[in-house]
């Protein structure tokens, strides 16, 4: 099996625009308070953003909805107050009015806070869950582009999905339409032992990136790792064992590593969310935070050389 170093060196052949500088670290952020699940206020978001910056150095976050909890209306002023930025997700499925409400909310926010918005994503893993086709997602992205570019022409619009749905061609119509692509990859959900966690993650992301570059017919693309991390609790998944030791190693090797190689990367997620339901007798979804519910880091969150 080739070493992780050899894979990275080969990958850098297709990363000329990225290899000269470190990538940007972003952190996924929930919109509900962890203690009672009520909606976060602007003051709550300000506190979150300050904690994230203090513990990680990051001033970039990602959310997944604009209208639920009036999320973008509450977050946008907090971004400006703290000098932070965000990639903002729209939730495009559900009732007939959700997509319209989500789009209206981001358009309204962009009128006053375009400088705080790094990008807009339509959906999160909707192709992976087979809730949309690539063609349907492409049309939704185009609709959002037309609306947002009327008020903020320089804000990119795209989508986020699992790395394999990008690599295997499922997302090709959406990739072609997008200004921005986020690829999610979790070595835990690949059932990898921690010794192979970084190797698996980098390989998955590079496959997705190379396919995006092929579809876009250029190497300089607006591409992020949309989600990655290693859980600190829950049940083993095949060879993947969730605990703090493995999460700390994955942070240092996989996350800090890919940032050092110049790839912009979002970590999922900022804080544990203990209210999330267990699935198939596995409560792992409660343990993805790099910090606990009180904002205490579970391990050292600074990346050397980044």
CA angle 293, 73, 101 (to 5 degrees): 110
| Catalytic-residue membership of 253 | no
Catalytic residue (one of 43, 101, 102, 125): 125
| Catalytic-residue membership of 125 | yes
Rounded distance between C-alpha atoms, residue 77 and residue 26, angstroms: 18
Give residues with Cβ within 8 angstroms of 291, minimum separation 6.
51, 55, 270, 271, 272, 297, 298, 301
Number of alpha helices (DSSP H) and beta strands (DSSP E) in the chain:
10, 8
Rounded distance between C-alpha atoms, residue 79 and residue 148, angstroms: 19
Which tokens hold the place of 48? 């979150």
CB 157 within 8 A of CB 107: no
Rounded distance between C-alpha atoms, residue 259 and residue 163, angstroms: 17
Which tokens hold the place of 96? 């007939």
Catalytic residue (one of 55, 102, 227, 273): 227
CB 133 within 8 A of CB 145: no
- Exposure of 124 in the CB half-sphere (CA atoms within 13 A): 18
Active site residues: 125, 227
């Amino acid at each position: 099996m080739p070493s992780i170093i050899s894979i990275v060196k080969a990958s850098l052949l297709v990363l000329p625009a990225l290899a000269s500088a470190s990538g940007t670290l972003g952190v996924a952020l929930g919109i509900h308070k962890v203690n009672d699940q009520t909606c976060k206020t602007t003051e709550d978001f300000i506190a979150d953003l300050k904690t994230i910056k203090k513990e990680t150095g990051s001033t970039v976050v990602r959310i997944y909805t604009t209208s639920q909890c009036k999320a973008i209306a509450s977050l946008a002023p907090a971004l400006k107050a703290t000098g932070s930025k965000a990639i903002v997700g729209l939730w495009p499925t559900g009732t007939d009015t959700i997509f319209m409400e989500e789009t209206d909310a981001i358009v309204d926010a962009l009128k006053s806070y375009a400088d705080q918005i790094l990008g807009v994503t339509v959906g999160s893993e909707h192709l992976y869950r087979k809730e949309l086709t690539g063609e349907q997602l492409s049309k939704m992205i185009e609709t959002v582009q037309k609306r947002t570019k009327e008020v903020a022409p320089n804000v990119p619009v795209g989508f986020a999905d699992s790395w394999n749905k990008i690599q295997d061609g499922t997302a090709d119509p959406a990739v072609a339409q997008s200004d921005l692509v986020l690829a999610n990859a979790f070595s835990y959900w690949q059932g990898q032992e921690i010794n192979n966690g970084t190797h698996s993650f980098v390989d998955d992301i590079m496959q997705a990136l190379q396919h995006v570059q092929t579809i876009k017919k250029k190497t300089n693309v607006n591409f992020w790792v949309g989600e990655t991390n290693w859980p600190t609790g829950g049940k083993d998944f095949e060879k993947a064992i969730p605990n703090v030791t493995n999460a700390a190693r994955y942070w240092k090797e996989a996350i800090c590593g890919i940032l050092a190689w110049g790839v912009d990367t979002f970590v999922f997620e900022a804080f544990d969310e203990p209210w999330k339901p267990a699935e198939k007798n596995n409560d792992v979804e409660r343990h993805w935070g790099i910090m606990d519910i009180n904002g205490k880091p579970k391990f050292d969150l600074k990346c050397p050389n980044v």
